[in-house]
Structure 1
Amino acid sequence: MGNSFGRIFRISTFGESHGKALGVIIDGCPAGLPIEETFIQNELRRRKPGQSKITTQRKEEDEVEILSGVFDGLSTGTPISMLIRNTDQKSKDYSHIAESYRPSHADYTYAQKYGNRDYRGGGRSSARETAARVAAGAIAKLLLLHHNISIQAYVSQAGEVSLSKSYQELDLSLTESNIIRCPDQEVAERMIAHIDQVRKDRDTIGGIVSCVAKGVPAGLGEPVFDRLHAELGKAMLSINAVKGFEYGSGFKGIEMRGSQHNDAFYLEGDKVRTKTNYSGGIQGGISNGEDIYFNVAFKPVATIMQDQESIDESGNPVTVSGKGRHDPCVVPRAVPIVEAMAALVLADYLLLNRSSKL
C-alpha cells in the first residue's frame, strides 16, 4: 500500500505526525553489521524540528529506540525495528481546518482516496514521516561505509539565492558549519537572511538540495525498468514537497553537443575512468564507478501564515490561514532526508548485485 521501499534492503514505515510515535522496520540488513546508535541519533538530530530560527519551532528530540534486530551492537540478520515517539504535538493548532482543504496540501486527495483524513498536521502525509526514513537511512549508511561508499548532500539554492560552484569546487566538510547546510559560508549567510525575511513576511520559499555519492563501484543497477537513476528519482520524488530530480548534466545537458557531452574512457592504473562525468556516474542505468551526483528541487512550504481562499468538505467557500509551527523553507532539514533515501537505494542495489554474477 505504498508504505514500503526496497527489494532486499527493504523498509516499511508507520505512524502519523500527531500520533503516539513513528517507526520503521528494516528487513534484509545483513547480519554482523556494527550498529552505532549514536550515529543514528545524530542523523535524526540533523533532521529534527526546532534546530534553528529558520526551521519549525516544534520541539521534538526524536530519540530513537531500537526494539529488535540488534544484539551486542551488531545486526542479527532479523528485522530491525525502531521507534521514535512524538512528544510535542499541538493538535489544537489544526482544529480550524478539520473540515477545510488547505491549498496545495494532501487534504483533498487523502479524503478522496480513503474517505476520511487525519487533519492533525496532515497525519500520514506530513513530512514528519521522514524521521523514520532517516533512521533507516542511517543503518543503510553504515552498511555503505562498510564498503567505503559515502553520501553527502548540501543546500545549493534557497529561493532566489543559489550556489554557482559545483560539488568538486566545495569543501563539503563545511556543510554542517551553518544552519542552512550550505558549504559556502558567504552564500549561506545570504540564504539565511533571505529565509529569515520570508519568514517575517509570513511566507515560504523552496530550494534545491544537491547530493554526491562517492566510492560507488561499477555495476550497480538493473537494465530497463529498474535502472539505478530511475530508482534514485523515485526515492527523491517520494519525499514530501519534492517537485524535480535531475542527475549528471540534467537539463543543462540539452545545451551541449554530443561531442561535448560524451564521457571518454581511459585507464588509471587498472581502473576504468571517464575524463568527464556528464553521465553522473550512471550509464545504461548501471553505475560506472564515477561519482553519482544529482539535484532535488523542493517547492515552497504549502502552509503559509496568510489568509487563502479554499473550500470545505461540503464545497462551501472558506478562508484558510496557517497556524502553529512550520518551516519557512524545508531544504535545511531535507539534507539528511535526501542522504537517507540515496543510501537506501544504494544499499539495496549493493545487496542485489551479489546475485548478478558468479
Structure 2
Amino acid sequence: MNTFGKIFRLTSFGESHGRGIGGIIDGCPAGVELDIDLIQKDLARRKPGQSKITTQRKEPDQVEFLSGVFEGKTQGTPIAFAIWNKDQHSNDYNDLKDVFRPSHADFTYTKKYGTRDHRGGGRSSARETIARVVAGAIAKQILAKAGVSIQAYVSQVGEIKLQKSYKELDLSATENNIVRCPDQEVADQMIARIEKAGHEHDTVGGVITGVATGVPAGWGEPVFNKLHADMGFAMLGINAVKGFEYGSGFEGTRLSGSEHNDIFIKTDEGVRTKTNNSGGIQGGISNGEDIYFNVAFKPIATLLKEQQTLDKDEKSIKINPKGRHDPCVLPRAVPIVEAMAALVLVDHFLLNKLNTI
C-alpha cells in the first residue's frame, strides 16, 4: 500500500534516516512541460529548518529526476525521482530503539512487521511526504493547464482560530509569514502560540483549510470513489491528520434542510448554485463551484520532555527524547495538503477523460 492513485499513480519509497526519499510516477501524460523551479518551490515550503517555528534539521531537499523527463518534458514513461538525505542525526534515537513512544507508530509497526526502523520513525516519518509533494507539484502543473488551482493555508493553531472564510481573505498573502496564515494579525498570534509550545517542550495542533478553484462540473464517480471520499482518503493518509470535512462539514448538521440546500440559479456563466454548502461536490461529482475543505492535525507526538511508556518487554520506563522536532506540523504541512488534493484531482481529471467521447 505504498501506491496512491488509479491513473496518475505515485509509489513512494524511503525512510527518514535512510539514504533518501523518492518515488515513481506512472500514468503521467506525455508532453507536459515541467517547471522544475515550481517543484523545488513546493519542496522548500515543506523542508525542515525553514523558520524559527520548525525543526532545525537542515536538508536542501533538492529533487533529482532519474527517468521519464527529457528536455524538460514528460515522456509518458515512469518518472523516477529521488531526494537524498543529508542531515540525519540517527544517534539521537539510539535510546529509543526498544521503546514504544506514546502515540507513535513504534508499537503498531512492531506488531505488524515484527521489526521497525527506530531512526526518526523510519517509514512512518512525515519525511516520506517529500515524494507526495514532488508528485503533487507535477499534478498541479497539469491541472493549471485545465484552469484548476489549489491553495491551502493554516486556519487554526490550538485555540487560535481564523474566523474569516476563504472568500474574505487574500490567499496570495499566505506565504507572507512563517505560519502560512493569510491574515497577518491572526498569524502573529499563531506564531506566538507555537513558540509557547516550543518553549515548554510541548507541541500544538490545528487545522489547514484547502480550496480548489476552476474544477468544472463532472469530475468524480457516483458510487465508489466519490470525489469527496477520495479527497478524505488522501487527507487522512497524511501523518498526524485526525479529521477531514468538506463544504459545510460538521457545522452543517446545525442547519435545517431548507437552510442547507444549495439552490440552482442561471447565470451568464451557466448553471451555478446560490450558496455552496455542498463544497463543490454533489453526489460524489463536482458541480463547478469551489471545492473547500478542512484538515485537522493533532499535536505532534514527539515531546522533548519526560514521559511514561513501555519498552518491548512491556516494562514501564520513562523517556526523555532528544533530537530536532517541530512544535507544530501545520506550517510545513500546507504544501502536503495541496499536493494530496492535486493528486486526487488530476486522477479524476484523467478518469473523466475516459468517461467522455
TM-score (norm: length of structure 1): 0.99
Partner of 1:115: 114
In the alignment of these two chains, the number of paired residues is 357
Q: Offset at 1:224?
A: 1.4
Distance 1:119 1:243 in 2: 23
Partner of 1:345: 344
1:200-231, Cα deviation, whole Å (9 max, x unpaired) = 01100001000000000110001112100000
Partner of 1:254: 253
- Structure 2 unaligned residues grouped into runs of 5+: none
Partner of 1:237: 236
Partner of 2:226: 227
Runs of 4+ in 1 over 3 A off after TM superposition: none
Partner of 1:129: 128
Distance 1:50 1:183 in 2: 21
Which amino acid in structure 2 is aligned with residue 17 of structure 1?
Answer: S
Distance 1:266 1:138 in 2: 35
Which amino acid in structure 2 is aligned with residue 141 of structure 1?
Answer: K
Q: Offset at 1:322?
A: 2.1
- Counting only pairs closer than 5 Å after superposition, residues 66-215 of structure 1 correspond to structure 2 as 66-215=65-214
- Percent sequence identity is 64
1:292-333, Cα deviation, whole Å (9 max, x unpaired) = 000000000000011111111011111112210000000000
Partner of 1:64: 63
The Cα RMSD (Å) is 0.6
Which amino acid in structure 2 is aligned with residue 120 of structure 1?
Answer: R
Which amino acid in structure 1 is aligned with residue 82 of structure 2?
Answer: L
Q: Offset at 1:288?
A: 0.3
Q: Offset at 1:82?
A: 1.0
Q: Offset at 1:285?
A: 0.3
Distance 2:354 2:192 in 1: 50
1:116-157, Cα deviation, whole Å (9 max, x unpaired) = 000000000000000111011000000000111000000000
Q: Offset at 1:268?
A: 1.3
Confirm whether residue 322 of structure 1 aligns to residue 333 of structure 2.
Answer: no
Partner of 2:9: 10
Q: 314-323 vs 155-164, which deviates more?
A: 314-323
Q: Offset at 1:270?
A: 5.0
Partner of 1:264: 263
Q: Offset at 1:198?
A: 0.9
Distance 2:197 2:225 in 1: 40
Distance 2:23 2:37 in 1: 17
Secondary structure class of the residue paired with 1:122: helix
- Counting only pairs closer than 5 Å after superposition, residues 267-346 of structure 1 correspond to structure 2 as 267-346=266-345
Secondary structure class of the residue paired with 2:64: strand
Which amino acid in structure 2 is aligned with residue 316 of structure 1?
Answer: K
Distance 1:146 1:34 in 2: 11
Confirm whether residue 35 of structure 1 aligns to residue 34 of structure 2.
Answer: yes
Distance 1:321 1:344 in 2: 38
Secondary structure class of the residue paired with 1:121: helix
Secondary structure class of the residue paired with 1:13: strand
- Structure 1 unaligned residues grouped into runs of 5+: none
